[in-house]
Structure 1
Amino acid sequence: MLLHFIERDALHLLSAASEGAPLDHFLPLLQEDLLGIATLNYDTLVESAGRAHGVRVSTGAEEWDGGFRWRFADDAVRLLKIHGSFTWRPSKPLDGGGGGVPNIGLYEMSAVDEPAPNNRVDSTLIFGGQVKLTPHGPFPALMRQFADWLEQADVIVAAGFGFADEHIVGAIRRWASLDANRKMIIVDPYPRTTGPFVGDTYGGFCTRCGRDTEIPSAAYLDTQLPLGRTASTFSSKASSPACPHSSERM
Protein backbone atom coordinates (compact mmCIF):
# COMPACT_ATOMS: atom_id res chain seq x y z
CA MET A 1 0.00 0.00 0.00
CA LEU A 2 2.82 2.41 0.87
CA LEU A 3 4.48 1.67 -2.47
CA HIS A 4 1.23 2.50 -4.25
CA PHE A 5 1.06 5.94 -2.61
CA ILE A 6 4.73 6.62 -3.39
CA GLU A 7 4.18 5.66 -7.03
CA ARG A 8 1.05 7.81 -7.26
CA ASP A 9 2.81 10.86 -5.82
CA ALA A 10 5.80 10.33 -8.10
CA LEU A 11 3.56 10.18 -11.16
CA HIS A 12 1.78 13.36 -10.08
CA LEU A 13 5.14 15.10 -9.76
CA LEU A 14 6.13 13.86 -13.21
CA SER A 15 2.84 15.06 -14.66
CA ALA A 16 3.19 18.47 -13.02
CA ALA A 17 6.74 18.83 -14.32
CA SER A 18 5.52 18.04 -17.83
CA GLU A 19 2.94 20.83 -17.81
CA GLY A 20 4.29 23.92 -19.46
CA ALA A 21 7.44 22.14 -20.64
CA PRO A 22 8.89 23.39 -23.97
CA LEU A 23 7.64 21.30 -26.89
CA ASP A 24 8.93 22.96 -30.06
CA HIS A 25 12.03 20.75 -30.21
CA PHE A 26 9.77 17.73 -30.82
CA LEU A 27 8.42 19.15 -34.09
CA PRO A 28 11.30 18.02 -36.37
CA LEU A 29 10.96 14.54 -34.90
CA LEU A 30 7.22 14.48 -35.55
CA GLN A 31 7.73 15.68 -39.13
CA GLU A 32 10.47 13.16 -39.99
CA ASP A 33 9.65 10.09 -42.09
CA LEU A 34 10.29 7.34 -39.54
CA LEU A 35 9.14 3.79 -38.95
CA GLY A 36 8.14 5.02 -35.51
CA ILE A 37 9.29 6.51 -32.23
CA ALA A 38 10.02 4.08 -29.39
CA THR A 39 10.23 5.46 -25.86
CA LEU A 40 10.62 4.06 -22.36
CA ASN A 41 9.22 7.22 -20.76
CA TYR A 42 5.83 7.33 -19.05
CA ASP A 43 5.16 11.03 -19.68
CA THR A 44 3.04 12.47 -22.50
CA LEU A 45 5.38 15.16 -23.85
CA VAL A 46 5.44 13.75 -27.39
CA GLU A 47 1.64 13.50 -27.46
CA SER A 48 1.37 17.07 -26.14
CA ALA A 49 3.78 18.29 -28.81
CA GLY A 50 1.62 16.64 -31.46
CA ARG A 51 -1.49 18.39 -30.20
CA ALA A 52 0.33 21.73 -29.97
CA HIS A 53 1.53 21.51 -33.58
CA GLY A 54 -1.49 19.84 -35.16
CA VAL A 55 0.25 16.50 -35.71
CA ARG A 56 -1.73 13.37 -34.93
CA VAL A 57 0.13 10.96 -32.65
CA SER A 58 -1.02 7.40 -31.98
CA THR A 59 0.31 5.26 -29.14
CA GLY A 60 -1.84 2.30 -30.19
CA ALA A 61 -3.23 1.92 -26.67
CA GLU A 62 -6.88 2.30 -27.68
CA GLU A 63 -6.34 0.07 -30.74
CA TRP A 64 -4.91 -2.86 -28.78
CA ASP A 65 -7.29 -5.83 -28.88
CA GLY A 66 -5.77 -7.75 -25.98
CA GLY A 67 -3.70 -9.97 -28.26
CA PHE A 68 -0.07 -10.35 -29.26
CA ARG A 69 -0.06 -7.65 -31.95
CA TRP A 70 0.19 -3.89 -31.45
CA ARG A 71 -1.64 -1.62 -33.87
CA PHE A 72 -1.69 2.12 -34.47
CA ALA A 73 -4.29 4.51 -35.79
CA ASP A 74 -4.00 5.29 -39.49
CA ASP A 75 -2.36 8.49 -40.74
CA ALA A 76 -0.61 9.21 -37.45
CA VAL A 77 2.91 9.36 -36.06
CA ARG A 78 3.45 6.01 -34.33
CA LEU A 79 4.67 6.32 -30.75
CA LEU A 80 5.52 3.01 -29.06
CA LYS A 81 5.56 3.42 -25.26
CA ILE A 82 7.28 0.17 -24.37
CA HIS A 83 7.06 0.69 -20.60
CA GLY A 84 3.50 2.00 -20.62
CA SER A 85 2.12 5.43 -19.85
CA PHE A 86 0.70 7.23 -16.85
CA THR A 87 -2.46 7.88 -18.89
CA TRP A 88 -3.27 4.20 -19.66
CA ARG A 89 -6.02 2.46 -17.70
CA PRO A 90 -6.25 -1.38 -17.90
CA SER A 91 -10.02 -1.63 -17.54
CA LYS A 92 -11.52 -1.54 -21.04
CA PRO A 93 -13.81 -4.58 -21.59
CA LEU A 94 -13.41 -6.15 -25.04
CA ASP A 95 -15.45 -8.70 -26.96
CA GLY A 96 -13.97 -12.18 -27.26
CA GLY A 97 -11.96 -13.83 -24.56
CA GLY A 98 -12.14 -17.55 -25.16
CA GLY A 99 -12.86 -20.02 -22.39
CA GLY A 100 -14.63 -17.45 -20.25
CA VAL A 101 -11.42 -15.47 -19.69
CA PRO A 102 -12.26 -11.75 -19.86
CA ASN A 103 -10.47 -9.80 -22.59
CA ILE A 104 -9.37 -6.48 -21.12
CA GLY A 105 -8.02 -3.62 -23.22
CA LEU A 106 -6.78 -0.12 -22.48
CA TYR A 107 -8.33 3.29 -22.09
CA GLU A 108 -6.04 6.20 -22.87
CA MET A 109 -6.83 9.25 -20.79
CA SER A 110 -5.46 12.79 -20.87
CA ALA A 111 -4.28 13.12 -17.27
CA VAL A 112 -2.63 10.95 -14.64
CA ASP A 113 -5.61 11.06 -12.27
CA GLU A 114 -8.41 11.04 -14.85
CA PRO A 115 -10.79 8.07 -14.39
CA ALA A 116 -11.65 5.76 -17.25
CA PRO A 117 -15.00 6.18 -19.09
CA ASN A 118 -16.42 3.35 -16.97
CA ASN A 119 -15.63 5.48 -13.88
CA ARG A 120 -12.95 3.07 -12.69
CA VAL A 121 -9.84 4.71 -11.33
CA ASP A 122 -7.44 1.86 -12.00
CA SER A 123 -3.76 2.04 -11.29
CA THR A 124 -1.75 3.60 -14.06
CA LEU A 125 -0.38 0.95 -16.42
CA ILE A 126 3.39 1.26 -16.34
CA PHE A 127 6.13 -1.34 -16.43
CA GLY A 128 9.10 -0.65 -14.23
CA GLY A 129 11.33 -2.17 -11.58
CA GLN A 130 10.91 -5.93 -11.48
CA VAL A 131 7.92 -6.05 -13.84
CA LYS A 132 9.62 -4.76 -16.99
CA LEU A 133 9.52 -8.26 -18.44
CA THR A 134 6.01 -9.17 -17.33
CA PRO A 135 4.06 -11.60 -19.55
CA HIS A 136 0.82 -9.88 -18.57
CA GLY A 137 -1.12 -7.04 -20.16
CA PRO A 138 0.12 -5.38 -23.35
CA PHE A 139 3.85 -5.78 -22.65
CA PRO A 140 4.41 -8.83 -24.95
CA ALA A 141 2.64 -7.01 -27.81
CA LEU A 142 4.69 -3.85 -27.22
CA MET A 143 7.97 -5.75 -27.30
CA ARG A 144 6.89 -7.67 -30.39
CA GLN A 145 6.19 -4.39 -32.17
CA PHE A 146 9.61 -3.09 -31.14
CA ALA A 147 11.22 -6.23 -32.58
CA ASP A 148 9.23 -5.82 -35.81
CA TRP A 149 10.51 -2.27 -36.18
CA LEU A 150 14.08 -3.37 -35.55
CA GLU A 151 13.85 -5.98 -38.31
CA GLN A 152 12.85 -3.26 -40.78
CA ALA A 153 15.30 -0.57 -39.65
CA ASP A 154 18.75 0.14 -41.07
CA VAL A 155 19.48 3.04 -38.71
CA ILE A 156 18.56 3.65 -35.06
CA VAL A 157 18.78 7.11 -33.54
CA ALA A 158 19.13 6.87 -29.74
CA ALA A 159 18.57 9.89 -27.48
CA GLY A 160 18.15 9.99 -23.72
CA PHE A 161 18.65 6.25 -23.29
CA GLY A 162 21.23 5.03 -20.78
CA PHE A 163 21.44 1.45 -22.13
CA ALA A 164 20.56 0.03 -18.71
CA ASP A 165 17.45 -1.96 -19.71
CA GLU A 166 18.55 -5.49 -20.52
CA HIS A 167 15.52 -6.39 -22.65
CA ILE A 168 16.05 -3.34 -24.89
CA VAL A 169 19.84 -3.64 -25.09
CA GLY A 170 19.56 -7.34 -25.91
CA ALA A 171 17.18 -6.61 -28.78
CA ILE A 172 19.49 -3.91 -30.15
CA ARG A 173 22.50 -6.23 -29.92
CA ARG A 174 20.67 -8.89 -31.94
CA TRP A 175 19.64 -6.25 -34.47
CA ALA A 176 23.24 -5.04 -34.86
CA SER A 177 24.79 -8.51 -35.07
CA LEU A 178 22.63 -9.64 -37.99
CA ASP A 179 23.77 -7.02 -40.50
CA ALA A 180 27.13 -5.21 -40.53
CA ASN A 181 25.59 -2.34 -42.54
CA ARG A 182 23.23 -1.34 -39.75
CA LYS A 183 24.12 1.82 -37.87
CA MET A 184 23.23 3.56 -34.65
CA ILE A 185 23.41 7.32 -34.20
CA ILE A 186 23.66 8.36 -30.55
CA VAL A 187 22.53 11.87 -29.66
CA ASP A 188 24.23 13.13 -26.51
CA PRO A 189 25.15 16.85 -26.47
CA TYR A 190 27.01 16.59 -23.15
CA PRO A 191 28.74 13.18 -22.93
CA ARG A 192 30.77 12.48 -19.81
CA THR A 193 34.43 11.70 -20.28
CA THR A 194 34.80 9.41 -17.24
CA GLY A 195 32.53 7.05 -15.32
CA PRO A 196 30.22 6.32 -13.69
CA PHE A 197 27.89 6.61 -16.65
CA VAL A 198 24.53 5.97 -14.95
CA GLY A 199 21.88 7.92 -16.84
CA ASP A 200 24.36 8.99 -19.53
CA THR A 201 23.41 8.06 -23.09
CA TYR A 202 26.75 7.75 -24.83
CA GLY A 203 28.60 6.68 -21.70
CA GLY A 204 26.00 4.00 -21.08
CA PHE A 205 26.50 2.71 -24.59
CA CYS A 206 30.29 2.64 -24.20
CA THR A 207 29.93 0.75 -20.93
CA ARG A 208 27.90 -1.87 -22.77
CA CYS A 209 30.74 -2.13 -25.26
CA GLY A 210 33.29 -2.78 -22.52
CA ARG A 211 34.59 0.77 -22.13
CA ASP A 212 33.68 1.18 -18.46
CA THR A 213 36.35 3.69 -17.37
CA GLU A 214 36.61 6.22 -20.17
CA ILE A 215 34.99 7.03 -23.47
CA PRO A 216 36.44 8.44 -26.69
CA SER A 217 36.83 12.19 -26.78
CA ALA A 218 34.62 14.20 -29.10
CA ALA A 219 37.84 15.52 -30.60
CA TYR A 220 38.40 12.13 -32.24
CA LEU A 221 35.86 11.51 -34.95
CA ASP A 222 34.54 8.18 -36.14
CA THR A 223 35.59 6.11 -33.15
CA GLN A 224 34.57 2.50 -33.74
CA LEU A 225 33.07 0.51 -30.88
CA PRO A 226 31.97 -3.13 -31.12
CA LEU A 227 28.28 -3.95 -30.93
CA GLY A 228 27.59 -7.50 -31.99
CA ARG A 229 29.41 -8.21 -35.28
CA THR A 230 29.27 -4.57 -36.33
CA ALA A 231 30.46 -1.28 -34.86
CA SER A 232 28.93 2.01 -33.84
CA THR A 233 30.44 5.26 -34.99
CA PHE A 234 30.72 8.24 -32.66
CA SER A 235 31.13 11.59 -34.36
CA SER A 236 31.32 15.03 -32.79
CA LYS A 237 28.79 17.73 -33.57
CA ALA A 238 31.21 19.15 -36.12
CA SER A 239 30.70 16.17 -38.40
CA SER A 240 26.90 16.53 -38.42
CA PRO A 241 26.09 12.87 -39.16
CA ALA A 242 22.89 12.43 -41.11
CA CYS A 243 20.62 9.45 -41.64
CA PRO A 244 20.53 8.28 -45.28
CA HIS A 245 17.13 9.03 -46.75
CA SER A 246 17.18 5.65 -48.49
CA SER A 247 17.24 3.82 -45.16
CA GLU A 248 14.42 2.98 -42.86
CA ARG A 249 14.93 4.72 -39.51
CA MET A 250 13.45 4.60 -36.06
Structure 2
Amino acid sequence: MWDLWKRSMCTPGSGDPTEAAARMMDVVHYKETINPNIEHFLSQCDAYLAFNKDATVEEFVSEVKAVILDACSAFLRAPTADISAYRQLLQKLARRRVRDPRLKVFTTNYDMCFETAASDLGMMAIDGFSYTRRRRFDGKHFSYDIVRREAEGHEFAEGVFQLLKLHGSVSWSREEKDIYEDTAPTPANACLIYPAKGKYQQAFLQPHLELLSRYLEFLRQPNSCLIVAGFGFNDDHLSEPIFSAIQSNPSLKLILCDFQCITYLHNRGHHGSSDYWGRFHDLAKRGLDIHFISGSFSDLVSHIPHLRTASPAEQLAPQDAWGATTHECS
Protein backbone atom coordinates (compact mmCIF):
# COMPACT_ATOMS: atom_id res chain seq x y z
CA MET A 1 0.00 0.00 0.00
CA TRP A 2 2.87 2.38 0.76
CA ASP A 3 4.38 1.75 -2.65
CA LEU A 4 1.05 2.52 -4.34
CA TRP A 5 0.76 5.70 -2.26
CA LYS A 6 4.18 6.90 -3.42
CA ARG A 7 3.49 6.05 -7.06
CA SER A 8 0.13 7.78 -7.22
CA MET A 9 0.37 10.61 -4.70
CA CYS A 10 3.99 11.67 -4.25
CA THR A 11 6.66 13.57 -6.12
CA PRO A 12 9.13 11.06 -7.68
CA GLY A 13 12.06 10.45 -5.37
CA SER A 14 10.31 11.74 -2.24
CA GLY A 15 7.51 10.86 0.13
CA ASP A 16 5.89 14.28 -0.10
CA PRO A 17 2.51 14.59 -1.84
CA THR A 18 2.40 16.48 -5.11
CA GLU A 19 0.61 19.82 -5.21
CA ALA A 20 -2.44 18.22 -6.86
CA ALA A 21 -2.50 15.36 -4.34
CA ALA A 22 -2.23 17.75 -1.40
CA ARG A 23 -5.11 19.77 -2.80
CA MET A 24 -7.28 16.65 -3.17
CA MET A 25 -6.43 15.55 0.37
CA ASP A 26 -7.65 18.91 1.59
CA VAL A 27 -10.84 18.79 -0.49
CA VAL A 28 -11.92 15.34 0.76
CA HIS A 29 -10.67 16.07 4.31
CA TYR A 30 -8.06 13.32 4.37
CA LYS A 31 -5.91 13.95 7.46
CA GLU A 32 -3.57 10.94 7.67
CA THR A 33 -0.21 12.63 7.08
CA ILE A 34 2.13 10.55 9.28
CA ASN A 35 1.15 7.11 7.97
CA PRO A 36 -0.91 7.77 4.82
CA ASN A 37 -2.67 4.85 3.18
CA ILE A 38 -3.94 4.77 -0.41
CA GLU A 39 -6.89 2.54 0.58
CA HIS A 40 -8.01 5.02 3.24
CA PHE A 41 -7.60 7.94 0.84
CA LEU A 42 -9.69 6.33 -1.91
CA SER A 43 -12.31 5.44 0.70
CA GLN A 44 -12.42 9.08 1.73
CA CYS A 45 -12.81 10.09 -1.92
CA ASP A 46 -15.68 7.62 -2.36
CA ALA A 47 -17.42 9.01 0.72
CA TYR A 48 -16.95 12.58 -0.53
CA LEU A 49 -18.23 11.80 -4.04
CA ALA A 50 -21.28 10.04 -2.60
CA PHE A 51 -22.55 13.46 -1.46
CA ASN A 52 -20.76 15.85 -3.83
CA LYS A 53 -20.60 16.10 -7.61
CA ASP A 54 -16.99 17.16 -8.13
CA ALA A 55 -15.45 16.55 -11.55
CA THR A 56 -11.96 17.47 -10.30
CA VAL A 57 -11.98 14.81 -7.60
CA GLU A 58 -13.45 12.25 -10.01
CA GLU A 59 -10.68 12.95 -12.52
CA PHE A 60 -7.98 12.67 -9.85
CA VAL A 61 -9.39 9.36 -8.58
CA SER A 62 -9.41 8.06 -12.17
CA GLU A 63 -5.73 9.04 -12.50
CA VAL A 64 -4.88 7.21 -9.27
CA LYS A 65 -6.69 4.10 -10.50
CA ALA A 66 -4.72 4.29 -13.76
CA VAL A 67 -1.49 4.31 -11.74
CA ILE A 68 -2.65 1.25 -9.80
CA LEU A 69 -3.51 -0.56 -13.03
CA ASP A 70 -0.06 0.18 -14.44
CA ALA A 71 1.73 -0.71 -11.20
CA CYS A 72 0.08 -4.14 -11.14
CA SER A 73 0.84 -4.98 -14.76
CA ALA A 74 3.89 -3.13 -16.10
CA PHE A 75 6.40 -4.82 -13.76
CA LEU A 76 5.94 -8.16 -15.55
CA ARG A 77 7.26 -6.62 -18.76
CA ALA A 78 10.52 -5.55 -17.11
CA PRO A 79 13.65 -7.64 -17.87
CA THR A 80 14.26 -8.00 -14.13
CA ALA A 81 10.81 -9.48 -13.41
CA ASP A 82 11.23 -12.67 -11.39
CA ILE A 83 8.23 -14.98 -11.08
CA SER A 84 10.27 -18.15 -10.55
CA ALA A 85 8.47 -18.80 -7.25
CA TYR A 86 5.14 -18.89 -9.09
CA ARG A 87 6.50 -21.36 -11.63
CA GLN A 88 7.94 -23.58 -8.90
CA LEU A 89 4.65 -23.56 -7.00
CA LEU A 90 2.71 -24.69 -10.07
CA GLN A 91 5.33 -27.29 -10.95
CA LYS A 92 5.09 -28.78 -7.48
CA LEU A 93 1.36 -28.59 -6.76
CA ALA A 94 -0.46 -28.47 -10.11
CA ARG A 95 1.13 -31.59 -11.59
CA ARG A 96 -0.70 -34.02 -9.38
CA ARG A 97 -2.15 -37.48 -9.85
CA VAL A 98 -5.00 -37.23 -12.32
CA ARG A 99 -7.46 -38.74 -9.84
CA ASP A 100 -6.69 -36.02 -7.26
CA PRO A 101 -8.76 -32.82 -7.08
CA ARG A 102 -7.40 -29.94 -9.12
CA LEU A 103 -5.24 -27.40 -7.37
CA LYS A 104 -7.25 -24.26 -6.60
CA VAL A 105 -5.42 -20.95 -6.40
CA PHE A 106 -7.33 -18.12 -4.73
CA THR A 107 -5.66 -14.72 -4.98
CA THR A 108 -6.58 -11.13 -4.20
CA ASN A 109 -3.79 -9.83 -6.44
CA TYR A 110 -4.73 -8.13 -9.72
CA ASP A 111 -1.52 -9.05 -11.55
CA MET A 112 -0.90 -11.71 -14.18
CA CYS A 113 1.85 -13.64 -12.37
CA PHE A 114 0.04 -16.98 -12.21
CA GLU A 115 -1.20 -16.72 -15.80
CA THR A 116 2.32 -15.87 -17.01
CA ALA A 117 3.93 -18.66 -14.99
CA ALA A 118 1.38 -21.18 -16.31
CA SER A 119 2.04 -20.05 -19.87
CA ASP A 120 5.79 -20.45 -19.36
CA LEU A 121 5.23 -24.02 -18.17
CA GLY A 122 2.67 -24.95 -20.80
CA MET A 123 -0.01 -25.41 -18.14
CA MET A 124 -3.65 -24.43 -18.43
CA ALA A 125 -5.55 -22.30 -15.90
CA ILE A 126 -9.31 -22.69 -15.63
CA ASP A 127 -10.23 -19.13 -14.68
CA GLY A 128 -13.97 -18.95 -15.31
CA PHE A 129 -13.66 -17.53 -18.83
CA SER A 130 -15.00 -19.17 -21.96
CA TYR A 131 -12.87 -20.85 -24.61
CA THR A 132 -14.29 -18.69 -27.38
CA ARG A 133 -12.35 -16.17 -29.47
CA ARG A 134 -13.44 -13.35 -27.21
CA ARG A 135 -13.33 -14.81 -23.75
CA ARG A 136 -16.33 -14.01 -21.51
CA PHE A 137 -16.67 -14.82 -17.81
CA ASP A 138 -19.24 -17.39 -16.73
CA GLY A 139 -18.98 -19.34 -13.49
CA LYS A 140 -20.09 -22.57 -15.19
CA HIS A 141 -16.62 -22.87 -16.75
CA PHE A 142 -15.19 -23.79 -13.33
CA SER A 143 -17.18 -27.01 -13.70
CA TYR A 144 -15.37 -27.84 -16.94
CA ASP A 145 -12.09 -29.71 -17.14
CA ILE A 146 -9.52 -30.81 -19.71
CA VAL A 147 -9.23 -34.46 -20.71
CA ARG A 148 -6.86 -36.29 -23.01
CA ARG A 149 -8.86 -38.55 -25.31
CA GLU A 150 -7.23 -41.76 -26.50
CA ALA A 151 -8.47 -44.53 -28.75
CA GLU A 152 -9.38 -46.72 -25.78
CA GLY A 153 -10.79 -44.03 -23.53
CA HIS A 154 -9.79 -40.76 -21.93
CA GLU A 155 -8.14 -39.41 -18.79
CA PHE A 156 -7.73 -36.03 -17.16
CA ALA A 157 -4.85 -33.99 -18.53
CA GLU A 158 -1.98 -33.11 -16.21
CA GLY A 159 -0.94 -29.61 -15.24
CA VAL A 160 -4.41 -28.09 -15.10
CA PHE A 161 -5.41 -25.90 -12.13
CA GLN A 162 -8.19 -23.52 -11.19
CA LEU A 163 -7.38 -19.83 -10.76
CA LEU A 164 -9.88 -17.68 -8.88
CA LYS A 165 -8.98 -13.97 -8.70
CA LEU A 166 -11.26 -12.81 -5.92
CA HIS A 167 -10.69 -9.07 -6.41
CA GLY A 168 -10.53 -9.08 -10.20
CA SER A 169 -7.67 -8.68 -12.63
CA VAL A 170 -5.81 -6.12 -14.71
CA SER A 171 -6.89 -8.19 -17.72
CA TRP A 172 -10.65 -7.98 -17.12
CA SER A 173 -13.04 -5.32 -18.39
CA ARG A 174 -16.73 -4.80 -17.72
CA GLU A 175 -19.16 -4.13 -20.57
CA GLU A 176 -22.64 -3.56 -19.17
CA LYS A 177 -23.44 -6.87 -17.43
CA ASP A 178 -20.71 -8.99 -19.02
CA ILE A 179 -17.03 -9.44 -18.10
CA TYR A 180 -14.49 -9.97 -20.88
CA GLU A 181 -10.78 -10.63 -21.03
CA ASP A 182 -9.06 -7.40 -22.10
CA THR A 183 -5.37 -6.71 -22.68
CA ALA A 184 -5.68 -3.00 -21.83
CA PRO A 185 -8.75 -2.08 -19.76
CA THR A 186 -9.27 1.55 -18.77
CA PRO A 187 -9.70 2.71 -15.14
CA ALA A 188 -13.39 3.23 -15.88
CA ASN A 189 -14.20 -0.24 -17.22
CA ALA A 190 -11.52 -2.35 -15.48
CA CYS A 191 -13.18 -5.14 -13.53
CA LEU A 192 -11.28 -5.15 -10.28
CA ILE A 193 -11.95 -4.09 -6.72
CA TYR A 194 -9.71 -1.08 -6.10
CA PRO A 195 -8.28 -0.71 -2.59
CA ALA A 196 -11.00 1.10 -0.64
CA LYS A 197 -13.41 0.31 2.16
CA GLY A 198 -16.15 -0.13 -0.42
CA LYS A 199 -14.51 -3.33 -1.65
CA TYR A 200 -16.58 -5.33 0.82
CA GLN A 201 -19.77 -4.23 -0.93
CA GLN A 202 -18.21 -4.80 -4.36
CA ALA A 203 -17.30 -8.36 -3.35
CA PHE A 204 -21.01 -9.20 -3.50
CA LEU A 205 -21.34 -8.12 -7.14
CA GLN A 206 -20.59 -10.33 -10.13
CA PRO A 207 -18.13 -11.75 -11.01
CA HIS A 208 -16.70 -11.39 -7.50
CA LEU A 209 -19.76 -13.00 -5.90
CA GLU A 210 -19.31 -16.13 -8.03
CA LEU A 211 -15.64 -16.37 -7.08
CA LEU A 212 -16.34 -15.70 -3.41
CA SER A 213 -19.03 -18.41 -3.31
CA ARG A 214 -16.57 -20.97 -4.71
CA TYR A 215 -13.99 -19.87 -2.14
CA LEU A 216 -16.52 -20.44 0.65
CA GLU A 217 -17.49 -23.80 -0.86
CA PHE A 218 -13.87 -24.93 -0.87
CA LEU A 219 -13.47 -24.20 2.84
CA ARG A 220 -16.25 -26.69 3.59
CA GLN A 221 -14.70 -29.53 1.59
CA PRO A 222 -13.39 -32.52 3.59
CA ASN A 223 -9.70 -33.48 3.56
CA SER A 224 -8.58 -30.10 2.25
CA CYS A 225 -5.52 -28.00 2.93
CA LEU A 226 -5.46 -24.21 2.67
CA ILE A 227 -2.04 -22.59 2.34
CA VAL A 228 -2.14 -18.85 3.02
CA ALA A 229 0.88 -16.82 1.92
CA GLY A 230 1.34 -13.05 1.89
CA PHE A 231 -2.21 -12.29 3.06
CA GLY A 232 -2.53 -9.76 5.88
CA PHE A 233 -6.03 -10.84 7.01
CA ASN A 234 -7.24 -7.27 6.59
CA ASP A 235 -10.19 -8.30 4.39
CA ASP A 236 -12.83 -9.51 6.83
CA HIS A 237 -14.99 -11.04 4.09
CA LEU A 238 -12.11 -13.44 3.34
CA SER A 239 -10.57 -13.81 6.80
CA GLU A 240 -13.67 -14.61 8.83
CA PRO A 241 -14.69 -17.59 6.63
CA ILE A 242 -11.24 -19.14 7.20
CA PHE A 243 -11.53 -18.61 10.96
CA SER A 244 -14.99 -20.17 10.98
CA ALA A 245 -14.06 -23.06 8.68
CA ILE A 246 -11.06 -24.22 10.72
CA GLN A 247 -13.41 -24.62 13.70
CA SER A 248 -16.30 -26.29 11.86
CA ASN A 249 -14.43 -28.43 9.30
CA PRO A 250 -12.47 -31.02 11.35
CA SER A 251 -10.45 -32.28 8.35
CA LEU A 252 -9.28 -28.86 7.15
CA LYS A 253 -5.54 -28.24 7.43
CA LEU A 254 -4.40 -24.61 7.59
CA ILE A 255 -0.85 -23.40 6.87
CA LEU A 256 -0.15 -19.69 7.41
CA CYS A 257 3.02 -18.14 6.01
CA ASP A 258 4.33 -14.59 6.35
CA PHE A 259 7.80 -13.11 6.57
CA GLN A 260 6.75 -11.34 9.80
CA CYS A 261 4.88 -14.33 11.20
CA ILE A 262 6.89 -14.50 14.45
CA THR A 263 6.40 -10.80 15.10
CA TYR A 264 2.66 -11.08 14.50
CA LEU A 265 2.27 -14.05 16.84
CA HIS A 266 4.26 -12.53 19.71
CA ASN A 267 2.86 -9.02 19.35
CA ARG A 268 -0.78 -9.67 18.51
CA GLY A 269 -2.65 -6.63 17.31
CA HIS A 270 0.55 -4.57 17.05
CA HIS A 271 3.15 -3.76 14.37
CA GLY A 272 0.39 -3.45 11.80
CA SER A 273 -0.76 -7.05 12.24
CA SER A 274 -4.35 -8.19 12.10
CA ASP A 275 -5.96 -9.61 15.23
CA TYR A 276 -6.66 -12.78 13.25
CA TRP A 277 -3.05 -13.88 13.74
CA GLY A 278 -3.59 -14.00 17.49
CA ARG A 279 -6.95 -15.72 17.09
CA PHE A 280 -5.44 -18.42 14.87
CA HIS A 281 -2.60 -18.82 17.38
CA ASP A 282 -5.16 -19.44 20.14
CA LEU A 283 -6.85 -22.12 18.04
CA ALA A 284 -3.51 -23.78 17.29
CA LYS A 285 -2.73 -23.97 21.01
CA ARG A 286 -6.07 -25.73 21.47
CA GLY A 287 -4.87 -28.45 19.10
CA LEU A 288 -6.51 -27.45 15.81
CA ASP A 289 -4.61 -28.33 12.62
CA ILE A 290 -2.94 -24.95 12.09
CA HIS A 291 0.73 -24.49 11.25
CA PHE A 292 2.78 -21.27 11.00
CA ILE A 293 5.75 -20.62 8.73
CA SER A 294 7.90 -17.53 9.14
CA GLY A 295 9.22 -16.74 5.70
CA SER A 296 8.50 -15.16 2.35
CA PHE A 297 6.41 -16.65 -0.45
CA SER A 298 9.64 -17.84 -2.09
CA ASP A 299 10.75 -19.48 1.18
CA LEU A 300 7.46 -21.33 1.42
CA VAL A 301 7.62 -22.57 -2.18
CA SER A 302 11.17 -23.83 -1.75
CA HIS A 303 10.06 -26.08 1.14
CA ILE A 304 7.00 -27.58 -0.58
CA PRO A 305 7.77 -31.11 -1.82
CA HIS A 306 6.90 -32.17 -5.34
CA LEU A 307 3.47 -33.85 -5.45
CA ARG A 308 4.24 -36.31 -8.19
CA THR A 309 2.83 -39.74 -8.88
CA ALA A 310 4.55 -42.33 -6.72
CA SER A 311 5.95 -45.53 -8.17
CA PRO A 312 4.53 -48.89 -6.94
CA ALA A 313 7.55 -49.30 -4.66
CA GLU A 314 7.14 -45.81 -3.23
CA GLN A 315 3.45 -46.42 -2.61
CA LEU A 316 4.36 -49.35 -0.35
CA ALA A 317 6.97 -47.35 1.58
CA PRO A 318 6.05 -45.44 4.78
CA GLN A 319 4.83 -41.95 3.93
CA ASP A 320 5.55 -38.66 5.62
CA ALA A 321 3.01 -36.08 6.70
CA TRP A 322 2.71 -34.69 3.17
CA GLY A 323 2.08 -38.10 1.60
CA ALA A 324 -0.16 -39.66 4.21
CA THR A 325 -3.34 -38.07 2.93
CA THR A 326 -4.40 -36.55 -0.36
CA HIS A 327 -5.19 -32.90 0.32
CA GLU A 328 -6.83 -30.31 -1.87
CA CYS A 329 -4.45 -27.39 -1.62
CA SER A 330 -4.95 -23.69 -2.38
TM-score by length of 1: 0.71
Aligned equivalents of 2:104, 2:167: Cα separation in 1: 16
| Corresponding residue number in structure 2 for 1:74 | 145
1:25 paired to 2:95: no
| Corresponding residue number in structure 2 for 1:96 | none
| Corresponding residue number in structure 2 for 1:83 | 167
Residue 199 of structure 2: which of 125, 131, 140 is its match?
A: 131
| Corresponding residue number in structure 2 for 1:158 | 228
SS in 2 for 1:173: helix
| Corresponding residue number in structure 2 for 1:110 | 183
Bigger shift: residues 153-162 or 80-89 = 153-162
| Corresponding residue number in structure 2 for 1:214 | none
CA contact (8 A) 2:137 2:179 kept: yes
Deviations 1:139-193 (A, max 9, x none): 2111111112222252111111111110011111221111334221122345352
Can you give the 5+ residue segments of structure 1 that lack an aligned partner in the other structure? 93-103, 114-120, 212-222
CA contact (8 A) 1:197 1:207 kept: no
Deviations 1:7-53 (A, max 9, x none): 11221122122323212221232231444000000111110111112
Residue 142 of structure 1: which of 211, 214, 232 is its match?
A: 211
| Corresponding residue number in structure 1 for 2:284 | 224
Structure number with bigger Rg: 2
| Corresponding residue number in structure 1 for 2:63 | 5
2:165 alignment partner AA: K
| Corresponding residue number in structure 1 for 2:292 | 234
Structure 1 77/204 Cα, relative in aligned 2: closer, same or farther at 3 Å? farther
2:247 alignment partner AA: S
CA contact (8 A) 1:155 1:243 kept: no
Larger helix proportion of the pair: 2
Bigger shift: residues 141-150 or 177-186 = 177-186
2:145 alignment partner AA: D
Deviations 1:95-143 (A, max 9, x none): xxxxxxxxx3211123455xxxxxxx85211124213333332121111
1:53 paired to 2:121: yes
TM-score by length of 2: 0.55
CA contact (8 A) 1:36 1:77 kept: yes
Deviations 1:65-97 (A, max 9, x none): 3xxx453353332110001111101117xxxxx
Structure 1 236/90 Cα, relative in aligned 2: closer, same or farther at 3 Å? closer
CA contact (8 A) 1:133 1:139 kept: no
CA contact (8 A) 2:258 2:293 kept: no
Q: Number of matched residues?
A: 211
Aligned equivalents of 1:236, 1:160: Cα separation in 2: 11
CA contact (8 A) 1:40 1:83 kept: yes
Structure 1 158/22 Cα, relative in aligned 2: closer, same or farther at 3 Å? same
2:261 alignment partner AA: P
Please report the RMSD computed on the Cα atoms of aligned residues, expressed in angstroms: 3.0
TM superposition outliers: structure 1 runs of 4+ over 6 Å: none
CA contact (8 A) 2:246 2:253 kept: yes
CA contact (8 A) 1:89 1:123 kept: yes
CA contact (8 A) 1:14 1:43 kept: yes
Aligned equivalents of 1:205, 1:81: Cα separation in 2: 22
